[in-house]
Structure formats: C-alpha cells, structure tokens
C-alpha cells in the first residue's frame, strides 16, 4: 500500500491520536485490516483517512466537510494532480528565493489576497479556478502562522504570515500518493447530515466534529463561517443514534469537557477517555495533554 499523509495541517487534526483511534476500531476491522465502506463526515485534514488508506484495504470511502475550499482541494488532488504540482512548483520557486521582506509582500499580494478574491463553487466545476484555489490554499497553509486555516466572519482567510525558513510548499510525492489513494473516494462538501448511509452495507464511520471548547475563551472550533455550538452537538448525537440503529460501526471523538455533557448525550454507548496532545491552539497554556473522548457503539 502507498504511504499517504495529510496534505494540509489542520486545526484539530488527529495525527497525534492515531494509535488511540486504531486501538478502538471495531474488532473485525483490527483483525482483517479490511473495510468495505469507510465514511468520514467531518474529514478536515484527513489524518485517519490517509492512515487507513496507507495501512488498510478499503473498498470504498466517502468523505465530507462543510468547508468547500478544502473539499475542492481534495477534488483537485483526485482529478488534476499534475496541474496542481506545476502551480505549487511555481509558487515554491518564487517564494523560497525571496528575503524576509519579499516573502511578506508575496504572502499578502500573491497568496492571501488572490485566494480571498478568487470565488469558486463546490457544485460548479471550473478546472482552472479550482486548481488555482487549491494551490493557493496549500501554499498559504504551508507559509502562514502556525499552519492554520482560519476565516473571519466574511469567510476570508485571515491568518498572518509565519516565518518558516524552508517551508515545503510542494510535496510532490505525497500529492501523487494521495491522488492514488483518493481514487475510490467519493468527495462531498455539505452539512454532515446530508451524508446518508444505506443500511444494506455496514459502514465504519469516524465522526470528528469541531470540539466543544474546554473554556469560553477558546476559539478552537471556528474553522468556517459557521460555529458548532451545544445545540449542534446535540443534533449530532441524534444523527449518531440514527446511524447506530442502522447497524453501522461508529467512532466519534470530542473533547472531555469535565461537565458530563457527552456522558449524558451518549449514555447508551461505550465512552473511553484517552490522552491527546493538541498542537494547534491559540492559548499557549492549552498545549499540554488533555483528555479526549472516544465514543463507540460497539
């Protein structure tokens, strides 16, 4: 199997939690290393997706995220990897030779402003614009402060420049590997509840919604224009129960907020507490180890 890793650094990315997640897979999947249908409705950077594509035999997968630019980037990697690599090579060659001042100008004038100006729609394929948007998104993610993806209330990418000496704007080998890995993957961009799963096939579904914040000041859950509040967490538990009744295998992760919010919502299921290291956090005190919840219906 070809090794793949996330092509973006993503807030809430699960690379630090892969061992704990794997230890909590359904037993038949651990035993056979085979998955007929894998579904990830909040895919983000896809840490678990790419781990599974690299180490398990998956017949078909379905991924979704509400962020259209992110999902356009997945589509571009699936459909137009060569053109994307060419664009990223151009950007990388232009950027790396510049002085710090030059890089700053380039970041704002050649990456961030054009990214925010370029309007693309997920439901309307426009090959050239899609490739441009995807290249700018990857380049911004590699060169911005902390490698974050964050938008303001107008939907504009607003992270400032980060000072990395030699950012890997183009990782050609990984883009090619992800391209191969995504060939049996259906890609969507909508609200998670539009992902309906027939009860004919038992799917393995990993749900990694935006965290319920550990404190009020944490702005950790703002990936897109929409917030994910307690009401959304409650609705998600209804979706979880609906899928569970259909016989799918469900694994959900969230933060352990100490007030038994999730213990109450998911009381009929199997709740494990595991330690996790969080990497991207605006609050420097929050970088230590925190508890994470894994909720399984098996």
Ligand X SMILES: C[S@@+](CC[C@H](N)C(=O)[O-])C[C@H]1O[C@@H](n2cnc3c(N)ncnc32)[C@H](O)[C@@H]1O
Q: Which residues bind ligand X (CB under 6 A)?
A: 10, 12-14, 41-42, 44-47, 64-67, 191-192, 208-210, 223-224, 226, 228
Q: What whole-number distance in Å separates Cα of residue 146 and Cα of residue 160? A: 9
Smaller CB distance to ligand X: residue 45 or 181? 45
Q: Determine the angle formed by the axes of helices 47-55 and 172-181, rounding to 10 degrees.
A: 80
Q: How far is the CB of 143 from ligand X (least distance, A)?
A: 19
Q: How far is the CB of 63 from ligand X (least distance, A)?
A: 10
Smaller CB distance to ligand X: residue 188 or 249? 188
What is residue 269's three-state secondary structure? Answer: coil
Q: How far is the CB of 97 from ligand X (least distance, A)?
A: 31
> What letter would DSSP give residue 72?
H
Please give the full DSSP string across 147-207, using - where no structure is assigned. Answer: G---B-TTS-B---B---SS-----HHHHHHHHHHGGGEEEE-S-GGG----TTS--EEEE
Residues listed for the chain: 298
- Closest residue by Cα to residue 149 from 219, 260, 75, 223: 223
Q: How far is the CB of 67 from ligand X (least distance, A)?
A: 4
Q: How far is the CB of 20 from ligand X (least distance, A)?
A: 13
Q: What whole-number distance in Å separates Cα of residue 29 and Cα of residue 48? A: 14
Are the C-beta atoms of 73 and 36 separated by less than 8 Å? Answer: no
Q: What whole-number distance in Å separates Cα of residue 37 and Cα of residue 185? A: 10
Smaller CB distance to ligand X: residue 44 or 147? 44
Q: How far is the CB of 90 from ligand X (least distance, A)?
A: 27
Q: How far is the CB of 172 from ligand X (least distance, A)?
A: 22
Smaller CB distance to ligand X: residue 110 or 235? 235
Smaller CB distance to ligand X: residue 191 or 234? 191
Quickly tell me which residue has 């420049």 as its tokens: 161
Q: How far is the CB of 100 from ligand X (least distance, A)?
A: 30
Bridge-based pairing of strands 249-255 and 204-207 is parallel
Q: What whole-number distance in Å separates Cα of residue 58 and Cα of residue 191? A: 24
Are the C-beta atoms of 37 and 78 separated by less than 8 Å? Answer: no
Q: CA angle, corner 46, sides to 23 and 145, nearest 5? A: 115
Smaller CB distance to ligand X: residue 10 or 107? 10
- Tell me the residue number closest to ligand X, measured at CB: 44
Smaller CB distance to ligand X: residue 56 or 228? 228
Smaller CB distance to ligand X: residue 83 or 213? 213
């Amino acid at each position: 199997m070809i090794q793949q890793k996330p092509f973006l650094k993503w807030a809430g990315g699960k690379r630090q939690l892969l061992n704990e997640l794997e230890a909590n897979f359904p037993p038949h999947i651990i035993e056979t290393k085979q998955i007929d249908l894998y579904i990830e409705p909040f895919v983000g950077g896809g840490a678990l997706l790419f781990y599974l594509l690299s180490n398990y035999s998956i017949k078909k997968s379905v991924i979704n995220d509400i962020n259209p630019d992110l999902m356009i980037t997945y589509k571009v990697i699936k459909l137009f990897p060569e053109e994307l690599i060419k664009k990223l090579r151009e950007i990388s060659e232009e950027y790396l030779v510049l002085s710090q001042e030059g890089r700053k100008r380039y970041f704002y004038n050649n990456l961030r402003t054009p990214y925010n100006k370029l309007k693309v729609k997920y439901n309307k394929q426009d090959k050239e614009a899609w490739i441009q948007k995807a290249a700018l998104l990857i380049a911004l993610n590699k060169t911005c402060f902390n490698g974050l993806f964050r938008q303001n209330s107008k939907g504009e990418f607003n992270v400032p420049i980060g000072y990395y000496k030699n950012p890997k704007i183009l990782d050609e080998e990984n883009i090619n590997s992800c391209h191969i890995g995504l060939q049996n993957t259906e890609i969507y961009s909508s609200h998670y509840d539009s992902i309906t799963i027939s009860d004919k096939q038992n799917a393995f579904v990993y749900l990694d919604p935006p965290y319920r914040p550990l404190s009020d000041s944490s702005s950790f859950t703002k990936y897109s224009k929409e917030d994910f509040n307690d009401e959304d967490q409650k609705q998600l538990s209804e979706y979880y129960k609906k899928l569970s009744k259909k016989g799918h295998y469900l694994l959900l992760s969230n933060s352990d907020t100490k007030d038994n919010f999730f213990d109450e919502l998911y009381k009929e299921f199997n709740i494990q507490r595991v330690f996790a290291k969080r990497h991207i956090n605006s609050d420097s005190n929050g970088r230590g180890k925190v508890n994470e919840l894994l909720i399984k219906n098996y």
